Structure formats: structure tokens, C-alpha cells
């Protein structure tokens, strides 16, 4: 009987590729981390870690302990004893382990959409030159980024300058240099393109924005936890990202905001709430923002939503982002190898950069049949995700994805296309 998701008839090339997957797993220094995640002992092939990461087994204990001892045992005392400090404490760990950010610049709060809104409005308010009335963004950025900027531009009477991004690649430093100038206020881009997986040159683009006199805002949703970052070293002004992809925070876990320390003393974020006040429990009249990154909080922190990501941050600190990135490169390279052997002959197109160094941790492949193929794959416990009009994204989370799992999933895609 064949293994779930395997082709009915395996030819010589399949056998060689299966052996290669086994060899890559055998040589993988991060392979043992996979056993720490729920569900990895099944035949399910999960190729969507770039949308929602698997939960860690320790999260069951962490959350149960919190319910019993923290919430249930300490009750309201928990706010004074620990919870009020969690947004900054976890933010500092995230900055240290993932973002390349010194302490005091990262905080966990809100959703990515709300965080980006705060950062964009704060950045625009910091621009003092009345001639700077343009925001630069690209046509293939994630929808929430585009919608936010369109809404803010309408409110503030700003102009938008659109960079026409190649859907199979992304925005280049040359395009940013051409699009920016004396009228540019802010540039907003994604580090890893959500559709193609293109990895933007963050240091060079940040430098290009600064040379034009503009502020730089990065969306790190598809890179945080899978790609090495050095926000401080690159001089990034602002960044936001979610925590439920490669950081395994769980569905709807809160986002993070990064604000470079050189801006913190002068910036004012637009959503004033009690948790961002200098003394949240003073309950006094008038809003006085808390100093530093805490001033970017608004409402009550989602403590539950922060618990699961702590386990992943501990693993990332242990493994190191350099090793995680190295595995990510090998995973996407093997995915492309399987694509070339199995899917390209069936008319599938690679809609991602061919150079592994120019990719994040997912690839996209296109075929007109993929909408229906994806639905059939999900029924077989093979789970990529579909992106209109006809793309399948193969998302590979380095700490929880094995090469054998990738082999099974890509084989199932091929078999569905063959009918």
C-alpha cells in the first residue's frame, strides 16, 4: 500500500528524489525541532507555514499553566506582577532573536493593520517639509498595506506614487530611487512579497529612501522568523509584522511594532488609549503618552495571544536565525528542484525568483487548474494555499517542515494535475 500523498507508480526519478529528501533530512541540524510541534508525527503535508504556523507542544502546557496559575491563581494581581510588562518584554526578545533590534524599540500590540496605521500616521506627522506630500508603495503589496495607505491619503490629501512591481519578483532599489524625491514623505514596502516570495534588498532600499529624505516603513509579515534581519544596522525607521506565521503565535496573535530609538522621543502615534498613557492606572484627565516604545500601545494587551509565540522565540534564540535561514534556502531550493522534475513538464510556471538568495521561505507556482487542485489536496491532508488568479504558494517553515514532508506534498500536487 502506498504512503498517503505518494504517486501510484513511482519511477526511477521519484526514487532518487525520495532518497535526496531523506538525505537532506538526515543532514539537517534543525531536524529535531520538528518533533516539538503538534501534528508532525502524521502523514499530513503542511505547506502553508507562511500563513499560519503549527503550534508547539509546549504551548499546551504554557497556556494551561497560565489559565490555572496565572489567570486562575493570581487573577487581577497578574497585571501588576507581570502582564503589563509582557508587550515590551516579549518585544525585546523578538527584537533580540529575530529583528536585529536593541531593547526598547519593539512592542507587541494590536493587529498588523492597526500597527501599520499607527506607524504610517506617526511617520507622516513627523514630516515637517510641506512639499513632501507623497507616499511611495507598490502595486503588488499585501492588500491591507495598500488599503491603509489609500485611506490615509484620502484623509490627509496626500498623493500616492505607485511602483509597478513584477508579480513574479518584487521591488528593486533602482525602482525606489526612481520613485522617490523631494516630494516623498514615506515609503512603505514588504520585505518578502506575499505572492512571489521575492526578498527585497532591505538595506539598499532603506538607504535609497533616506537619500531622498523620506522615512521608511517595512512590513515584515513574511520574513520575521524565516529571514535574517538587522533593522538597527540598516537604519530602518519603522517596521511592523504579524506573529502567527513563522513565529507560531496562533490564529490572530497580536502583531509587533518596531520604532527606531532615534524617533521615539519626538513621535506621537494617533490612537490614544489608556494603556499607552504614562501611568495607565492613574485614570487622570488628559492624555500624556508613556515614554519610549510603550507610547505605541493603545488598548489592553492581548495576553493570551502572546503566550504561544514565547516558545518559538526561545527556539529561535537556541537555533539562531543564521541556521534557520540556511534551512529555508535549502527547502525552497528543493521545492524548485521538485517543481522542475514534476510540475514544469505539466505546464506549471514558477512565479518566484529562481535565485534562492532572492526568495523568502515560500515559492509560488502557477497553473489554471490550481484553484480546484488546492481544494482536492486539502481533502487529502496536503495543505498549500491558493492565491488568485491561479497560484499555489508552497510555504516552508524551517523549524517544523521536513524535506520528506515537502516531497510528499509536491508529489500530491503532481498527481492531482495528472488526474
Residue-by-residue DSSP string for 312-363: HHHHHHHH-HHHHHHHHHHHHHHHHHHIIIIIGGGT-EE-S-SSGGGB-SEE
Q: What is the pTM of this model?
A: 0.95
Sign of torsion, CA 216 217 222 228? positive
State pLDDT tens for residues 208-231.
999 999 999 999 999 999 999 999
- pLDDT over 60 at 80, yes or no: yes
> Which residue is listed with cell 521519484?
14
Q: Residue 163 pairs with which residues in a beta bridge?
A: 138
State pLDDT tens for residues 235-288.
999 999 999 999 999 999 999 999 999 999 999 999 999 999 999 888 999 999
Q: Where are the alpha helices (DSSP H) in 201-347?
A: 202-211, 231-234, 261-264, 303-319, 321-338
Summarize the confidence of residues 9-16 as an average pLDDT: 70
State pLDDT tens for residues 126-146.
999 999 999 999 999 999 999
| Residue 122, CB-side half-sphere exposure with 13 Å CA sphere | 29
What residue ranges do the domains of the chain occupy?
Answer: 12-57+321-418, 82-317
Closest C-alpha among 165, 179, 180, 190 to residue 210:
180
- Angle formed by the axes of helices 321-338 and 303-319, to 10°? 90
CA end-to-end span of the chain, whole Å? Answer: 19
Q: Give percent of the chain above pLDDT 90.
A: 94
State residue 9's pLDDT score. 42
With 0-12 / 13-18 / 19 or more C-beta atoms within 10 angstroms meaning exposed / middle / buried, residue 357 is: exposed
Is-catalytic flag, 245?
Answer: yes
Q: What is the CATH number of domain 12-57+321-418?
A: 3.90.1150.10
Closest C-alpha among 401, 407, 417, 411 to residue 31:
401
Question: How many residues would you count in the chain?
Answer: 419
For residue 238, the SS3 value is strand
Bridge-based pairing of strands 362-366 and 349-350 is: antiparallel
State residue 119's pLDDT score. 98
Domain covering 82-317, topology: 3.40.640
State residue 11's pLDDT score. 59
| pLDDT confidence band for 27 (50 / 70 / 90) | very high
Count of C-beta atoms within a 10 Å radius of residue 356: 17
Summarize the confidence of residues 2-12 as an average pLDDT: 44
| pLDDT confidence band for 169 (50 / 70 / 90) | confident
Is-catalytic flag, 219?
Answer: yes
Task: Give whole-number Cα distances, 291 to 146, 269, 295, 369, 382, in Å.
Answer: 30, 12, 6, 54, 48
State residue 13's pLDDT score. 76
**How much is the mean pLDDT over the chain?**
95
Count of C-beta atoms within a 10 Å radius of residue 17: 21
Angle subtended at Cα 259 by Cα 182 and Cα 276, rounded to the nearest 5 degrees: 120
| pLDDT confidence band for 167 (50 / 70 / 90) | confident
| pLDDT confidence band for 147 (50 / 70 / 90) | very high
- pLDDT over 50 at 3, yes or no: no
State residue 316's pLDDT score. 98
Selected catalytic residue, list 48, 138, 201, 219? 219
Largest Cα separation within the chain, whole Å, is 75
Selected catalytic residue, list 37, 66, 142, 198? 142
Selected catalytic residue, list 18, 118, 132, 245? 245
State pLDDT tens for residues 345-403.
999 999 999 999 999 999 999 999 999 999 999 999 999 999 999 999 999 999 999 99
Summarize the confidence of residues 76-83 as an average pLDDT: 96
Is-catalytic flag, 330?
Answer: no
State residue 1's pLDDT score. 28
| pLDDT confidence band for 4 (50 / 70 / 90) | very low
Q: Which cell is 7 given?
A: 504517486
For residue 234, the SS3 value is helix
Q: Which residues contact 162 (CB under 8 A, 6 or more apart)?
A: 137, 138, 139
110: left (phi over 0), alpha (psi -120 to 50) or beta: left
- pLDDT over 80 at 57, yes or no: yes
State pLDDT tens for residues 288-316.
999 999 999 999 999 999 999 999 999 99
Sign of torsion, CA 72 74 75 81? negative
Selected catalytic residue, list 244, 296, 334, 407? 244
Amino acid at each position: 500500500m502506498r504512503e498517503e500523498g505518494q504517486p501510484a507508480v513511482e519511477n526511477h526519478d521519484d526514487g532518487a528524489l525520495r532518497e535526496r529528501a531523506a538525505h537532506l533530512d538526515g543532514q539537517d541540524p534543525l531536524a529535531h525541532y520538528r518533533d516539538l510541534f503538534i501534528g508532525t508525527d502524521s502523514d499530513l503535508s503542511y505547506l502553508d507555514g507562511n500563513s499560519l504556523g503549527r503550534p508547539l507542544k509546549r504551548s499546551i502546557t504554557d497556556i494551561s499553566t497560565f489559565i490555572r496559575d496565572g489567570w486562575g491563581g493570581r487573577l487581577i494581581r497578574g497585571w501588576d506582577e507581570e502582564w503589563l510588562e509582557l508587550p515590551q518584554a516579549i518585544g525585546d526578545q523578538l527584537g533580540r532573536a529575530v529583528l536585529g533590534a536593541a531593547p526598547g524599540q519593539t512592542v507587541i500590540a494590536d493587529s498588523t493593520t492597526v500597527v501599520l496605521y499607527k506607524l504610517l500616521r506617526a511617520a507622516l506627522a513627523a514630516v515637517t517639509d510641506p512639499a513632501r506630500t507623497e507616499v511611495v508603495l507598490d502595486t503588488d503589496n499585501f492588500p491591507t498595506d495598500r488599503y491603509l495607505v489609500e485611506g490615509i491619503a484620502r484623509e490627509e490629501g496626500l498623493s500616492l506614487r505607485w511602483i509597478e512591481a513584477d508579480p513574479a519578483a518584487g521591488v528593486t532599489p533602482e525602482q525606489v530611487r526612481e520613485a522617490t524625491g523631494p516630494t516623498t514623505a514615506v515609503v512603505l514596502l514588504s520585505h518578502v512579497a506575499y505572492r512571489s516570495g521575492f526578498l527585497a534588498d532591505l538595506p539598499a532600499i532603506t538607504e535609497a529612501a533616506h537619500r531622498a529624505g523620506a522615512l521608511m516603513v517595512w512590513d515584515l509579515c513574511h520574513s520575521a522568523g524565516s529571514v535574517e534581519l538587522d533593522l538597527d544596522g540598516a537604519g530602518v525607521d519603522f517596521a511592523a509584522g504579524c506573529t502567527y506565521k513563522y513565529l507560531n503565535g496562533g490564529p490572530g496573535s497580536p502583531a509587533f511594532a518596531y520604532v527606531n530609538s532615534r524617533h521615539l522621543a519626538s513621535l506621537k502615534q494617533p490612537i490614544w488609549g489608556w494603556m499607552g498613557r504614562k501611568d495607565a492606572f492613574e485614570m487622570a484627565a488628559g492624555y500624556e503618552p508613556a515614554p519610549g516604545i510603550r507610547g505605541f500601545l493603545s488598548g489592553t494587551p492581548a495576553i493570551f495571544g502572546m503566550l504561544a509565540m514565547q516558545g518559538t522565540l526561545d527556539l529561535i534564540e537556541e537555533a539562531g536565525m543564521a541556521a534557520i535561514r540556511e534551512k529555508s534556502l535549502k527547502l525552497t531550493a528543493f521545492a524548485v528542484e521538485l517543481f522542475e522534475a514534476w510540475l514544469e513538464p505539466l505546464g506549471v510556471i514558477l512565479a518566484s525568483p529562481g535565485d534562492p538568495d532572492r526568495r523568502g521561505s515560500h515559492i509560488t507556482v502557477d497553473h489554471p487548474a490550481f484553484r480546484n487542485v488546492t481544494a482536492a489536496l486539502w481533502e487529502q491532508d496536503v495543505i498549500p494555499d491558493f492565491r488568485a488568479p491561479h497560484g499555489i504558494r508552497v510555504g516552508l517553515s524551517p523549524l517544523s517542515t521536513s524535506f520528506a514532508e515537502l516531497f510528499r506534498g509536491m508529489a500530491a500536487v503532481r498527481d492531482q494535475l495528472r488526474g
